[in-house]
Amino acid sequence: MANQIRIISRAANMRGKKYLLKNKLGVIAESTVRYEAIAIPPLQDLLDNIVHGDNLAILKLIPDNKINLIITSPPYFKQRDYGGGIGNEKTVEEYIDNLLKVFSECVRILKDNGSIVFNLGDKYLEGNLQLIPYRFAVEALKSFPIKLVNSITWVKSNPTPRQYQRRLVSSAEPFFHFVKNDNYCYNFSEYMSANGGKSKRGNGNNIGKKYFELIETSNLTLEQKKLALCELQEVIEEVKSGKIESFRMKIKGIHSEPFGGQDGGRKYQLMRKGFTIIKIKGEPIKRDVIECAVETIKGCKHPAVYPLFIIKEFVKLLSKSGDIVLDPFMGSGTTVVAAKELDRKYIGIEINEGYCKYAQERLKNICIAKPPELFR
């Protein structure tokens, strides 16, 4: 079971002052919270633990090049008060600067083949969208030796049902995937593997159904219709047996003709046979968009939880079993839960003690089915 390492506790009425955090080698961090006890645990002690405290100071305790994957979502700018920490700076610039300080530590502790996934929300100020996630990403790319692999858009299928009359409802957020070099760990086949394609296939009774109807009502000759029905039946069998992923059919007079193309190509087939079939091989295309509902966990006290489904997909894609996954803005603990469920080691850092306790509870309730030990 996970412990909660309490590295710091905030001293009363000390807001605004700066304290220096020192270890044997000298000053390692400046903090606005006073450290009552400086117990600097070795990395081993942080593993599979939740650390209560200010992430910037705690990240400085982790040596360089140790973490395989960092997934996190910092507080939105001026959205809510989590009881301290980042998010309520006076200006967007100050907020982005503070995020960059945390990001800098993330880059330092990340292994060379590791990944950082930052999820950020945007903000309107006086009716003006600030583009905060993108301003952060641009600054990060300018300031650190990193590359941006993808900006993966989370499309919220259930956005807040508040319709404005003078603007559309924001219902998407980016997850930026940063790396240090091109050798990043990438388990492509693991990503979206459970529901990719198969769910669309169903029991197979509906595959190509619309094309049968279209062929019947088309202006093709009897011979052309016969051939079209025959080839349609064949290609449906190929989908059902898993030989190909899916297909599209174009029928003369119904679908638009392709532009250009060579003799013998699709245009020629349409002209000669009256139809053409485009076979789609392999897995469905893995795109930089994830549609997923905003999570509601029964009894959850945290107001901004990101979906466990998305985080598990990133953990599978960007790390291996036994790797270390870290979240410096842990909140309710979604990242650490995903890591534990997928047999990774985790470190969660959170400034609000109540959320630390809540995340502990989530971790405690995880039930991982292990294969029975037959031989001892």
Ligand X SMILES: C[S@@+](CC[C@H](N)C(=O)[O-])C[C@H]1O[C@@H](n2cnc3c(N)ncnc32)[C@H](O)[C@@H]1O
Please state at what angle helix 92-109 crosses helix 132-143, rounded to 10 degrees: 50
Question: Residue 349 interacts with ligand X (CB under 6 A)?
Answer: yes
* HEC assignment per residue over the chain: CCCEEECCCCCCCCCCCCEEEEECCEEEEEECCCCCCCCCCCHHHHCCEEEECCHHHHHCCCCCCCEEEEEECCCCCCCCCCCCCCCCCCCHHHHHHHHHHHHHHHHHHEEEEEEEEEECCCCEECCEECCHHHHHHHHHHHHCCCEEEEEEEEEECCCCCCCCCCCCCCCEEEEEEEECCCCCCCCHHHCCCCCCCHHHHCCCCCCCHHHHHHHHHCCCCHHHHHHHHHHHHHHHHHHHCCCCCEEEEEECCCCCCCCCCCCCCHHHHHHHHCEEEEEECCCCCCCCEEEECCCCCCCCCCCCCCCHHHHHHHHHHHCCCCCEEEECCCCCCHHHHHHHHCCCEEEEEECCHHHHHHHHHHHHCCCCCCCCCCCC
Question: Residue 334 interacts with ligand X (CB under 6 A)?
Answer: yes
Question: Residue 130 interacts with ligand X (CB under 6 A)?
Answer: no
Give the shortest CB-332-to-ligand X separation in angstroms: 3
Distance CA 20, CA 57 (A): 10
Give the shortest CB-184-to-ligand X separation in angstroms: 22
User: Which member of 325, 351, 356, 363 binds ligand X (CB under 6 A)?
Assistant: 351
User: Minimal CB distance to ligand X: which residue?
Assistant: 85
Q: Give me the 58-77 binding string for ligand X, x by CB under 6 A, dash otherwise.
A: ---------------xxx--
Between 245 and 350, CB nearer to ligand X: 350
Question: Residue 31 interacts with ligand X (CB under 6 A)?
Answer: no
User: Which member of 95, 103, 329, 346 binds ligand X (CB under 6 A)?
Assistant: 329
Q: Give me the 100-119 binding string for ligand X, x by CB under 6 A, dash otherwise.
A: --------------------
With contacts defined by CB under 6 A, name the span among 33-41, 123-131, 274-282, 324-332 that binds ligand X: 324-332
User: Which member of 46, 49, 54, 95 binds ligand X (CB under 6 A)?
Assistant: 54
Give the shortest CB-211-to-ligand X separation in angstroms: 44
Question: Residue 239 interacts with ligand X (CB under 6 A)?
Answer: no
Between 208 and 331, CB nearer to ligand X: 331
Q: Give me the 277-316 binding string for ligand X, x by CB under 6 A, dash otherwise.
A: -------------------------x-xxx----------
Question: Residue 355 interacts with ligand X (CB under 6 A)?
Answer: yes
Between 235 and 310, CB nearer to ligand X: 310
Question: Residue 360 interacts with ligand X (CB under 6 A)?
Answer: no
Size of the site for ligand X (CB under 6 A): 22
**Residues in contact with ligand X by the rule CB under 6 A:** 54-55, 73-75, 82, 85-87, 302, 304-306, 329, 331-332, 334, 349-352, 355
